[in-house]
Chains A and B, each alone.
Chain A
């Protein structure tokens, strides 16, 4: 067994008012890892985090800390601390007392507290704000206090629920870098919730993509981006062209009215699939017989690149390019076999979960994946 595992979730189910919010979450989190839960609003990220924090009890399934089952351990006895979605600072205490709260509960000596609080405020760049009332701080400053307060207890694991959600873009970017630095400096595990895919990709060691209470994919940012396991992940992580296709045999796929060579295999004969091609993987070339030809419908300047929409047959292609073709001109759409990602069709996330389960069993790696109804 992997000795590095600090938190394990095993077959977690949670239901609210008859609605299944989590449908069998299996997840291992390793020591000193920066893990991000990424998914659309309402997919169960906060609920999962709260189960780890001990604020929500799962209907079934186990939560393990260092291999020990902690389902019934109350939040105040868990070695994790949380930065809440809306900061949740104590309005009756000033910055210093907010940060010192956990240490006071531990009945630390005043000198120890003072030193620790100073260290934490240094860490989050809030030196000199000790006596300030927290209600008079800006959103970014409140956020920093919340982080300092949670870190003051020296948790093994820090849970952060969309900590930068309320900040403007500029500040968010700065804080992302700072948070990553803090994590690396303190060498602790961060479990970070966000619905911003860019944030997830820049900060994480591991990204957990969730949708509809089901984990869609777990992997490094590169894995998630380059090898999305299904159309949902592909669509959610960055932009994608998703086209219906049919797999004829290994390495042969038909879509957009043509047959293409690809690098995927292991599908049924004539299995309907989703074909995913990233806009930036496509190059625009002069029209010819060898490529798909289409009519440029629009060109939008996006800063680093142009976003070009090209209509070919009934498909609308999104292409990112640094060169802008003329609107109304005919261009060729070119890509290599490596740029084609073939994904099993999925009607809904439930279907997908079932499929994933099946795959695991086939591969014989499925340790004990949560039962799928």
Chain B
């Protein structure tokens, strides 16, 4: 009875998921494994040269006979075929792929190192201060993403604020913008709240008496953290890592603004295939598919950690 009702209630979400998640996902898979090739009237696949030659010939004939524009129907048409070529081609971009993953990983780890103690501190504060601190954490997110990143550009530039300030002391100027460091900084700055929030929400559920019980049994501050707080916040750590790593690994704005094109990420690559001059949606789909598989693998690893506590901590 109850079961049925909850299933009914889930229907709209199910429909939403199918229309906006499953279908696009299927399209990406289809695109990734297909390519369009020219073919003749019988459907025989032609090479690009053959197609070009035939079309040249046709055009000549049409000009001679003065065929009107509407009646010129080419024998060469396009055909979509199955191929693994796109996937294999992704291999070519492996260095970009790896450096993206590496940078996202560094950003995620730093976010965890900054966010974890902060989230813990906030969760132990007085109720009113907790609200205040959370506001402060969220505050940057109220500003437009582009603007936020743009602000960092003006800070990091060669004659930006930081270099000018350091110049007052006769230090620098340093080359900060258009480096890997700048991109990672952008990632950390933009996605840190996504680390703090899930950690905080798991940590507020840890009761003070639980911590006191550990102290009572002989645990000092460090052991309390290690033996009680960390194990109990594993779900939050997992969702925090996921929430920072995934957008970091696939971002393209940050690298474009702070990396100056020299530090291309997978995101930039995919962007190029769809909207850029390298137009090739099939390759773009293949790259994102590989990325997706990779992220899924990562997530199943973190989920394996989660299996011990049955409480899922996915928040976002």
Contact = CB atoms under 8 A, between A and B. Distances in A.
Interface string B206-230: 0101101111111110010001100
A76 B212 contact: no
A153 B231 contact: no
A82 B213 CA distance: 7
Nearest to A105: B218
Contact of A105 (B207, B217, B231, B309): B217
Given A55-B212, A84-B212, A86-B209, A92 B231 contact: yes
Given A101-B227, A105-B219, A105-B223, A90 B214 contact: yes
Contacts of A11: none
Contact of A82 (B216, B220, B232, B309): B216
A18 B137 CA distance: 32
Interface in B223-248: 223, 227-228, 231-232
Interface residues of A, number: 24
Contact of A76 (B207, B218, B309): B218
A102 interface: yes
B309 A92 contact: yes
A91 B232 contact: yes
With a 10 A CB-CB cut-off, give which of B209, B213, B223 has the most chain A CB atoms.
B213
A124 to B, nearest CB: 16
With a 10 A CB-CB cut-off, give which of B212, B217, B227 has the most chain A CB atoms.
B217
B280 to A, nearest CB: 49
Contacts of A88: 207, 209-210, 212-213
Contacts of A53: 216
A104 B232 CA distance: 18
A109 interface: no
Interface in A63-112: 74-76, 80-82, 84-86, 88-92, 101-102, 104-106
Nearest to B212: A55
Query: Interface range on chain B: under 10, 10 to 19, 20 to 34, or 35 or more?
Result: 10 to 19
Contacts of B218: 76, 102, 105-106, 153
A149 interface: yes
A75 B227 contact: no
A89 B210 CA distance: 7
A92 B218 CA distance: 18
Per DSSP, chain B at the interface is helix
Contacts of A120: none
Contacts of B217: 76, 81, 101-102, 105, 149-150, 153
A150 B209 CA distance: 14
A102 B219 CA distance: 8
A88 B227 CA distance: 15
Contacts of A80: 216
Contacts of B309: 92
Interface string B97-121: 0000000000000000000000000
B209 A76 contact: no
A76 B213 contact: no
Contacts of A74: 215, 220
Given A90-B228, A91-B232, A92-B232, A75 B216 contact: yes
Nearest to B209: A88
Contacts of B212: 55, 75, 82, 84, 88
Contact of B216 (A81, A89, A104, A106): A81
A91 B217 CA distance: 16
With a 10 A CB-CB cut-off, give which of B215, B220, B223 has the most chain A CB atoms.
B215
A90 B220 CA distance: 16
Nearest to A82: B216
A147 to B, nearest CB: 12
B252 to A, nearest CB: 39
Contacts of B216: 53, 75-76, 80-82, 150
A101 B212 CA distance: 13
17 contacts: A55-B212, A74-B220, A76-B216, A76-B219, A76-B220, A84-B212, A88-B210, A88-B213, A89-B213, A90-B228, A91-B232, A92-B228, A92-B231, A105-B227, A106-B218, A150-B216, A153-B218
Given A76-B219, A76-B220, A102-B217, 19 more contacts: A75-B215, A82-B212, A84-B209, A84-B213, A85-B209, A86-B209, A88-B207, A89-B210, A90-B210, A90-B228, A92-B228, A92-B308, A92-B309, A101-B214, A105-B227, A149-B213, A149-B217, A153-B217, A153-B218
